[in-house]
């Protein structure tokens, strides 16, 4: 599968959100918006009030919140909604909310959560996000051990969109891609760079180049 880079936006204000969307819109197919409620993770981002009337684009909402269905039902459109498996017991409520707003359903899993918890839900999802850091903050170190989850998912679901998120940079991106992830979310490796367009292109290029000469 072709590697695809997804810029991840983690901000606290609408002004910053719009600025970052403006920096990457048109350069990528999808943009991730990280939403944190200060309960599921120890950080709080922009809330629902800042998400109205966004520039036209395909968004992937990464819901790091308790009761994600209550948030999803407020966001209309064909966006991807990534829900943490740690926040649900059944998929019924989120499935209903995603359907109501015309969105698509994806699942996310934290580093400490065993893959077995996720597997029964995968057939109902269009995408799985394997967290390669503990969610909450940008700029953390990629946890290589999470690649076993990616490999197993790829083996079980050859056509599934598998995304990694957290610590993806010019070095780790090739490891993530060669372990089976085709979607590569990155925040600091894109937004902390001066040349945003170049940073996105380089991540994709490095993913394709493979990692045979690197050690970790
Ligand atoms: C983690 C967020 C990630 C994070 C990635 O809490 O879900 O999207 O912002 O940031 P980087 O790419 O800087 O590790």
Average pLDDT rounded to a whole number, residues 154-159: 98
Per-residue 3-state assignment (H helix, E strand, C coil) for 189-202: HHHCCCCHHHHHHH
Instruction: Label residue 108 by pLDDT band (50, 70, 90).
Output: very high
CA distance 45 to 206: 30
DSSP, collapsed to helix, strand or coil, labels residue 56 as coil
CA distance 156 to 158: 6
Helices (H), the chain: 14-24, 68-72, 92-101, 115-118, 147-156, 173-179, 188-191, 196-209
Q: Looking at residue 21, what is its pLDDT?
A: 98
**Alpha-carbon distance values, 169 to 70, 92, 138, 156, 201 (Å):** 33, 36, 12, 26, 12
Residue 50 sits at φ, ψ, to 5 deg, of: -90, 5
Instruction: Label residue 210 by pLDDT band (50, 70, 90).
Output: confident
Q: Could you give the domains of the chain?
A: 4-209 (3.20.20.70)
* Integer Rg of the chain from CA: 16
Candidates 16, 67, 92, 165; catalytic one: 165
Ligand 1 contacts CB of residue 139 (under 6 A): yes
Mutate to test the pocket of ligand 1, among 80, 140, 164 (most ligand atoms within 8 A of CB): 140
Q: Looking at residue 213, what is its pLDDT?
A: 44
Residue 186 pairs in a beta bridge with 7
Ligand 1 contacts CB of residue 176 (under 6 A): no
pTM of the full structure: 0.96
Summarize pLDDT for 69-80 with one digit per residue, the tens.
999 999 999 999
CA dihedral sign of residues 183, 185, 189, 194 = positive
Whether pLDDT at 172 is above 60: yes
Instruction: Label residue 214 by pLDDT band (50, 70, 90).
Output: very low
Residue 128 pairs in a beta bridge with 107, 162
Q: Tally Cβ neighbours within 10 Å of residue 93.
A: 17
Cα-to-centroid distance, 184 and ligand 1 (Å): 11
Cα-to-centroid distance, 142 and ligand 1 (Å): 10
Ligand 1 atom at shortest distance from the alpha carbon of 8: 8
**Does 165 qualify as catalytic in the annotation?**
yes
């Amino acid at each position: 599968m072709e590697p695809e880079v997804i810029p991840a936006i983690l901000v606290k204000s609408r002004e910053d959100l719009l600025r970052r969307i403006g920096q990457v819109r048109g350069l990528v197919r999808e943009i991730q918006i990280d939403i944190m409620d200060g309960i599921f993770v120890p950080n709080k981002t922009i809330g629902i009030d800042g998400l109205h009337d966004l520039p036209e684009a395909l968004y992937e909402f990464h819901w790091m919140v308790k009761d994600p269905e209550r948030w999803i039902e407020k966001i209309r459109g064909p966006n991807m909604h990534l829900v943490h498996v740690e926040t649900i017991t059944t998929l019924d409520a989120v499935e209903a909310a995603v359907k109501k707003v015309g969105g698509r359903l994806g699942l996310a899993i934290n580093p400490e959560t065993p893959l077995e918890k996720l597997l029964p839900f995968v057939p109902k999802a269009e995408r799985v996000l394997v967290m390669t850091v503990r969610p909450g903050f940008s700029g953390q170190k990629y946890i290589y051990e999470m690649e076993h989850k990616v490999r197993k998912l790829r083996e079980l679901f050859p056509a599934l969109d598998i995304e990694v998120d957290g610590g993806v940079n010019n070095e780790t991106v090739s490891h993530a891609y060669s372990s089976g992830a085709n979607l590569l979310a990155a925040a600091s490796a894109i937004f902390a760079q001066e040349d945003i367009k170049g940073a996105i292109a380089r991540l994709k290029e490095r993913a394709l180049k493979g990692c045979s000469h690197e050690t970790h």
